[in-house]
Amino acid sequence: MTEVLSDLRAFKLATGAHHFASATIEIADRCNEVCVHCYQIQGQKGEMDTAQVCAVIDRLADAGVLWLTLSGGEATLRRDFRDIVAHARSRHFAVRLMSNGLRIDDNLADFLAEQAIASVQISLYAMTPEVHDRTTGVPGSFEKTTAAIRRLRARNIAVDVAMTVMQHNVDDVTPLLAFTAEVGARPSISGHVFAKEDGDRQTEALNLDQDRYARFFADLQSAAEQQSEKKAPEEAPPPAPNPLHGRPCQVAKASVHVEANGEVRACALFNHTFGKVDTGKGPVEVMRESEDAALLGGLTWGHIVGCRVCDLRPHCHRCFANAQDEAGDALAPYASACARALTVYEHQTGALAWESPPGDAPTGPFREVEPGVLARTEDTLSAEDIALRERAPWLRPARNLAAPAGSPAAARAREGFVPATRLARSAGISTNQST
């Protein structure tokens, strides 16, 4: 692969081999779909021009970054899309494209194959055409998207088929897994809908409730076991322990994200900007010189009040951005992560009972009384916890949206953004669609 990514960027520039190996650039602030669950607000940030994008790519290469993801919006909408891909490949990046596939015809598929692109992630939300099309808001999108997947696979391009599972498409998970097996693609399935970047949480109403999520999770586990007959279920590795010194997320440490307008962030979902590339600095330079980025990159499980004393921590996967949206605090437990951890725990132990009733939507921390039996427990803020929050108030943003999805408080918009529901209504799309 291109001289082994230019000898792994001269062994990661001979120093810091672990730091900032990957980057994402959202090169387009527009999309040709209007997906009911999408967290993005299109058409309000603006876009870097060709020279600016290529300059960012050069800076990333000079900083030792190896893997580059091009995303949007829909990246292929740019007239200079091919120039950007070609430039990234000339700098020996392993390039990954995220797309909905609507513009990937034979000609573009040939180009991507010629450029030896590493992989393409295509969003496909159902194997029932009308369900997929209702999700994207574009009639006929199912046929175009599945055709794009087949074109790419016919040219031996690796394809990841991304599906966000919601109330209205959960029955299409098994058919989609069959489709990916048929075409030789890799399924990438998420069971969580994120809040909008304008702060609107109404899209979260599309999420599965805990009972349906448990069935969905069990189905995925069953499919995984059927795909791997070499390893019996009891031989599967134990869950990651998530030690207190470990990091819940690799943002601001192993990867960097660049918005379409040049803003540098930890990831697409975390709405704190560390700087801009138009200052003459590259994304990695911005991150390395930012005190906020250093703080975020150094956060461990031990900094998360509640989670650090929770016995379900080994079963938990959490997101700082989700915590901000749901709890108003990046360093606090939040309901959806706790619900998923409870599901994983019950699946692995075969039981879940409570020492005393936990309420309708229990949020941790939890204590394991005995295998399969849990109780709520407590944690307290230390002086160090308080000092951290005072030092970094952006961890608890003013747009504290700990309100139920769909409530008036959950619809407050971040300054500079048109509320997402208004844009959705103007496109004739409802955030409450179901089949």
Which tens digit of pLDDT belongs to each residue from 291-322?
999 999 999 999 999 999 999 999 999 999 99
Q: Distance between CA atoms of 151 and 48, rounded to whole angstroms?
A: 30
* CA-wise closest residue to 132 among 106, 164, 174: 164
pLDDT at 176 (0 to 100): 96
Q: Distance between CA atoms of 309 and 275, rounded to whole angstroms?
A: 34
Tokens encoding 299? 């956060």
Stretch 333-345: mean pLDDT, rounded? 94
Residue 288 has pLDDT above 90, yes or no: yes
Q: Which residues, at least 6 apart from 382, have a Cβ–Cβ distance to it below 8 Å? A: none
pTM for the predicted model, two decimal places: 0.85
pLDDT at 398 (0 to 100): 58
**Which of the four pLDDT bands, split at 50, 70 and 90, describes residue 375?**
very high
Stretch 112-123: mean pLDDT, rounded? 98
| Mean pLDDT comparison of 99-103, 192-196, 204-208, 222-226, highest-scoring range | 99-103
Least confident of 191-195, 223-227, 262-266: 223-227
pLDDT at 174 (0 to 100): 93
Task: Please give the radius of gyration of the chain, using alpha carbons only, rounded to the nearest integer.
Answer: 22
Return the domain boundaries, the chain.
2-235
Amino acid present at 328: G
Predicted confidence (pLDDT) per residue in 133-192, tens digit: 999 999 999 999 999 999 999 999 999 999 999 999 999 999 999 999 999 999 999 999
Q: Which residues, at least 6 apart from 62, have a Cβ–Cβ distance to it below 8 Å? A: 282
pLDDT at 56 (0 to 100): 97
Residue 329 has pLDDT above 90, yes or no: yes
Q: Distance between CA atoms of 149 and 202, rounded to whole angstroms?
A: 31
**Which of the four pLDDT bands, split at 50, 70 and 90, describes residue 386?**
very high
Select from 1.20.1420.30, 3.40.50.2300, 3.20.20.70, 3.40.50.2000 the CATH code of 2-235: 3.20.20.70
Q: Which percentage of the chain shows pLDDT scores above 90?
A: 73
Residue whose tokens read 């075409």: 183
Q: Which residues, at least 6 apart from 334, have a Cβ–Cβ distance to it below 8 Å? A: 318, 322, 323, 326, 327, 363
Q: Which residues, at least 6 apart from 229, have a Cβ–Cβ distance to it below 8 Å? A: none
Q: Which residues, at least 6 apart from 189, have a Cβ–Cβ distance to it below 8 Å? A: 162, 163, 165, 173, 176, 220
pLDDT at 235 (0 to 100): 46
Predicted confidence (pLDDT) per residue in 47-105, tens digit: 999 999 999 999 999 999 999 999 999 999 999 999 999 999 999 999 999 999 999 99
Which sign does the torsion angle of CA 225, 228, 232, 238 carry? negative
